[in-house]
A and B are shown apart, each in its own frame.
Chain A
Amino acid sequence: MVSLDEREIVIRAIDVERYYYGDGDTVTKALDGISLDIYKGEYLSIMGPSGSGKSTLFNMIGGIDSPTKGMVFIDEIDVAQLDSYELAWMRCHKIGYIFQSYNILPVLTALENVTLPMFFAGQSPDEARDKGAEILKHVGLGDRIFHRPFELSGGQQQRVAVARALANDPVIILADEPTANLDVKTGQEMIELLHDLKEERHITIISATHDMKMLDVSDRILWIRDGKVHRLKERSELDIQVGHMDEEV
């Protein structure tokens, strides 16, 4: 195995700070100087209690929030330099998003949901339809492509979301608590699906999670506490100390 240091970096955060300004002079430091390299094709889980800055960091490396200080590079592009068009382009082509509550558009069929990002990317309807059907088949929904979200179970909706995230062959998939609304079994299937995508397509998977099951498939686990990197471990280092994990998350 190649050592981590030789691998290609897909996201680099340099001294990222993020403040939120409240009433008067109150300033909340959500992120307090985080530096982090995320490698191409790795599965990174971000853990941390609520209020730790986990979500803020997650939004930052997903290009949907920008740092107060410091820099974030996504696939070698400095996010802070992008205007709204370019940000939209980057979200469209480089990143696939998976949300805790699926965020499938309820008015569209499964196939229409998956093809929507392709239209944003300028693909023709024929190409989009064929590719969308193929991706849905790949995530195990080949017989559900014309169903609407309300006709699908939670697990199936989340699969549509995964298919939609894959629409434009992203470099990165960002999954925000992807298993939080699923039961144990469906959650496990979702984790396996994400893991397979990493293996087959070498997509970088970054997931904010509370789900211990997720740790089994992660290459590295990052703990955030008080806006700082608390720990960053490879799974191999972690296996020995499984008994202590609960107090850390």
Chain B
Amino acid sequence: MTPNRTVEQIPNQIRIPWNTAISLSWTGLKRRLFRSMITITGVVLAIAFLAYMTINESIVGALVGLNDPVLNASLQRHGVDVFSAGSLDQMLQLLIGLALLTSTVGILNAMLMSVTERIKEIGTLKCLGASDPFIIKAYLIESTMQGSVGSFLGVMGGTLVAVGVNLGNYHGYVFQVFPWAPVGRAMTGAFLCGIVITVVAAIAPAWTAARKQPVEALRIDE
């Protein structure tokens, strides 16, 4: 025995298996479907609201641009200020911001709870040789998946409602001037925004999870 043998022979980095992280996150999501559904619902609602607001403004803005007297009367009946329509006023921006913030906090809470729930699993993974970045990666992948599903559903829902409401109010006019490009941009923006808030909300929980010591796996009993 030569205790002076140094640690140089240990490679500094473990190759981090992406596939493993993805399949672990995916199976974990499926197993905790109920918890995931709650998290996803939060994203769906916030993103649907965001998508609805922005798309509605685009459509109304395009309609105002037509400057048709009959349509203008109808717009005014529905409470649209025909002189300033087309851009979100500050109150609405604040509302949207609040909705996104609430949703972020909700996701953060759900993810933190899931870390506590899974201390033993995390500890076991670390005993098996999982590095800290692997654990972070697994959590971020999981939240990206939730964020994508939630944002997709939210964008679809918000778009359908916005288009539906405007069709109901202004009928054929909507098709005459449908603002494809702005609506597309609004949909993409809302989708990306959903993923960003989910991932941002997952950073702190992922970090907490990665810092857990493997000794926890032995200490905690079922």
Contact = CB atoms under 8 A, between A and B. Distances in A.
Interaction A to B: yes
Of listed A81, A84, A103, residue having the most chain B CB within 10 A: A103
B3 A73 contact: yes
Interface in B1-29: 1-3, 5-7, 10-15, 17, 19-20, 23-24, 27-28
A46 interface: no
Interface string A86-128: 1011111101010111010111100010001101111001000
Given A116-B128, A120-B128, A120-B129, A92 B14 contact: yes
Contact of B129 (A77, A91, A107, A125): A91
A235 to B, nearest CB: 24
B121 A105 contact: yes
A20 interface: no
A164 interface: yes
A239 B11 CA distance: 45
B121 A82 contact: no
Given A77-B10, A120-B134, A99 B17 contact: no
Interface string A56-78: 00010000110000010100111
B56 to A, nearest CB: 41
B12 A85 contact: yes
Nearest to A97: B127
Contacts of B218: 55, 59, 64, 99-100, 176
Of listed A95, A105, A119, A125, residue having the most chain B CB within 10 A: A119
A88 B13 CA distance: 9
Contacts of B30: 107
Contact of A85 (B28, B125, B131, B214): B131
Contact of A97 (B27, B128, B130): B128
A107 B29 CA distance: 10
Interface in A185-201: none
Contacts of B5: 76-77
Interface string A213-229: 00000000000000000
A88 B7 contact: no
Contacts of B130: 88, 120
A221 B35 CA distance: 46
B221 interface: yes
B131 to A, nearest CB: 4
B221 A76 contact: no
Contacts of B27: 107-108
Interface residues of B, number: 41
B86 to A, nearest CB: 49
Contacts of A78: 3, 7
Q: Determine the interface band of chain A, counting residues with CB < 8 A from chain B.
A: 35 or more
A8 interface: yes
Nearest to A81: B7
A204 interface: no
B167 interface: no
Nearest to A167: B128
B131 A84 contact: yes
B188 interface: no
B163 interface: no
Contacts of A125: 19
A117 B128 contact: yes
B10 A119 contact: no
A76 B9 CA distance: 11
19 contacts: A55-B218, A65-B213, A65-B215, A73-B3, A77-B7, A85-B12, A86-B7, A88-B132, A89-B11, A91-B128, A99-B218, A101-B222, A116-B125, A120-B20, A120-B129, A120-B131, A121-B129, A122-B14, A122-B15
Interface of B: 1-3, 5-7, 10-15, 17, 19-20, 23-24, 27-28, 30-31, 120-121, 123-132, 134, 213-215, 217-218, 221-222
Per CB-CB distance, the 4 closest pairs between chain A and chain B, nearest first, are A92-B129, A120-B129, A107-B27, A88-B131
Given A91-B126, A117-B128, 13 more contacts: A12-B3, A73-B1, A76-B1, A77-B5, A84-B131, A85-B12, A85-B14, A86-B12, A88-B126, A92-B14, A99-B124, A120-B134, A125-B19
